[in-house]
Chain A
Amino acid sequence: MGSKLGWLKLPLYGALLFLYLPIAVLIFMSFNESDAPFTWTGFSTRWYGELISSPEILTGFRNTLIVAIAATIIAVVLGTLLAVGLARYQRSAALEAIALTPAIFPDLALAIGLLTLFTNLNYALGLDSVIISHALFCAAFVTAIVRGRLHQIDSSLEQAAADLGDTAVGAFFRITLPSIKPALIAGALLSFTLSLDEFVIAFFTNGPSTPTLPIVIYSMVRFGVSPEINALATLVLLTSALIIIIAQRNLKVKDQI
């Protein structure tokens, strides 16, 4: 591998070094023994132990987990229905664009829009408003993934089921759902990680008493570097990376069936 690359090796490996060097240094420093943020004194896992004794971090973790699970459930239901509707019942470029916009729209604009909406409705901000807000962009990602899968698979089976008198909903549960299962899993995993790591929208739509983990991290990093953040950051990075790798594996099963 790579022999044909020639000088192109430089940008390729250079880009990877650029992408991974800061993360590698961060992970390395999370195992530092002393609490000096920049001086390596020896290997230790003590900072990982300290995380468990921090009530702020544990609360943030619990809140984030609630939001990510609830937002993912809403997003998978809405996104899957919308993807099937767009692929099988109403092909429309305009509707498709609207369905995918929450995924590419600037998060800050979505965030202030949602804040304005909740304020006007006199809806008290808390975890539920974050869940509603996260489900919005997560659903767009699920729609994109499931729709991509639906375009790959043959719709003739669904057609046959309909011809044999099955209802649309029946055909959906018996034929469509099993064949898009890998995309559903990938979409669910992706929206779970997106919600887990999302800061901007959570920052605007959250109440003061229910910080999610990224909000806790934000308040920590504003005060500079500490080995405790490094340990927390390492865990968060590795969790997301693991979930994304599993999601990718599910997307590649497209050759089955």
Chain B
Amino acid sequence: MAQALVKTERDANQRRALISRSIFLIPGLAYITIFMLVPLGFIFFYTFLTRGTYGGVEYIFTLENYTRALDSLYVGILMESIMIAAAATLLAFLIGFPTAYAITKLPSNWQNVFLLLIVLPFWTNFLIRTYAWIVLLNTQGFLNKGLINTGLINQPLEFLYKPGAVILGLLYAFLPLMILPIYSALVRIDPAMKEAAINLGASPSQAFRQITLPLALPGVLVGAIFVFVPSIGNFIVPELLGGGKTVMVGNLIRDQFLKARDWPFGSVLAISMVVMLLILFFLQARVNKAVLGEKSG
């Protein structure tokens, strides 16, 4: 009888735990399922369908959308997008690493101030920050005027509407996303490790290369993904700063959905982009594990 009481009480407790767990978890997870996972499933399903005559889709199964994506025109655009996003990522690393390293050398209260200054632009309006470069780089803009006034050039230079301008715009937009993860990887490095290396006869530059750099690698990879991912799917920077001459995969996807109304083909492009990003995330997790020496399982 006592046992039965304990059992019912345990059952009641378990039921209560289950209920409270559901109250907290189900609304959010259901929302994400309905508005993110199901739509992604739709997009994947669409890749096998036929484009409708007046937009929309017809339920005729085909693999033609995939073969069409292999057309050299689209492969070329994808390649150029990868090159542009990679160039922005590399530049962000070259600028971001020393910047993050410099911040770690500041007194801790100043570190917070500088970190806020670095991220602040990132949280403001993306369109406006891109537009600001048109004001600066236009043939009649500030930079050209300054260069002419100092006598460095006679004729205004055309900075905009080239792949270089697109790379610059992406670098500008996402540089903070490179600096932050590198910074947090660098501050977590135990200074004792570097001291130990120097005490054992390593030069400061050796200690930097063999201790700091490898331990910062996970942060660099997170930063690289954070810059590369939003760059490759971006269509605003190519449109505003590339003047429509530089077409990236983001522009192509946007146009398939809003202009050409070829949703199945747009879906193939979007799914390829997502798959590429998932591969990057997977590789990053692998490297992370290797560097930090975590045991799996």
Contact = CB atoms under 8 A, between A and B. Distances in A.
A230 B99 contact: no
A245 B120 contact: yes
A194 B116 CA distance: 16
Shortest Cβ-Cβ A-B pairs, 5 listed: A113-B39, A85-B24, A168-B20, A82-B28, A11-B98
A167 B233 contact: no
A84 to B, nearest CB: 5
Contacts of B134: 221, 224-225
Most buried by B among A108, A172, A194, A218: A108
B287 interface: no
A113 B116 contact: no
Interface stretch (A17-25, A42-50, A177-185): A17-25
Contacts of B235: 108, 200
Contact of A112 (B34, B126, B172, B266): B266
Contact of B28 (A15, A85, A120, A222): A85
Contacts of A133: 35
A217 B28 CA distance: 32
B128 interface: yes
A78 B26 CA distance: 9
Interface residues of A, number: 91
A116 interface: yes
Contact of A22 (B99, B172, B240, B253): B172
A11 B99 CA distance: 5
B38 interface: yes
A40 B96 CA distance: 34
A55 interface: no
A186 B276 CA distance: 33
Interface in A1-54: 1-2, 4-5, 8-12, 14-16, 18-23, 25-26, 29, 37-39
Interface of B: 16-17, 19-21, 23-25, 27-29, 31-32, 34-40, 42-43, 46, 56, 95-96, 98-99, 101-103, 105-107, 110, 112, 114, 116-121, 123-136, 138, 140-142, 145, 172, 175-176, 179, 226, 229-230, 232-236, 239-240, 250, 253-254, 257-258, 263, 266-267, 270, 273-274, 277
A160 interface: no
B102 A9 contact: yes
A200 to B, nearest CB: 8
Contact of B23 (A12, A109, A168, A225): A168
A145 interface: no
A152 interface: no
Nearest to B35: A136
Given A8-B105, A168-B23, A217-B125, A109 B172 contact: no
Contact of B35 (A108, A109, A117, A168): A117
Given A12-B114, A26-B132, A108-B270, A2 B106 contact: yes
11 contacts: A4-B105, A11-B99, A15-B99, A19-B175, A22-B133, A25-B135, A37-B135, A81-B27, A116-B39, A116-B263, A222-B239
Contacts of A10: 98
Nearest to B112: A252
A2 B103 CA distance: 10
Given A78-B27, A81-B28, 10 more contacts: A5-B106, A19-B172, A19-B175, A21-B136, A37-B135, A81-B25, A85-B21, A99-B32, A101-B32, A245-B120
A244 B127 CA distance: 18
A38 B156 CA distance: 13
A12 B35 CA distance: 41
B31 A136 contact: yes
B8 to A, nearest CB: 17
A107 B28 CA distance: 19
A115 B257 contact: yes
Interface string A60-94: 00000000000000000111011011101110000
A241 B121 CA distance: 8
A143 B28 contact: yes
Contacts of A2: 106
Interface in A152-193: 167-169, 172, 190, 193
A5 B104 CA distance: 10
A199 B236 CA distance: 10
A114 interface: yes
B128 A233 contact: yes
A112 B32 contact: no
Given A22-B172, A214-B125, A109 B274 contact: yes
Given A84-B24, A199-B126, A225 B102 contact: no
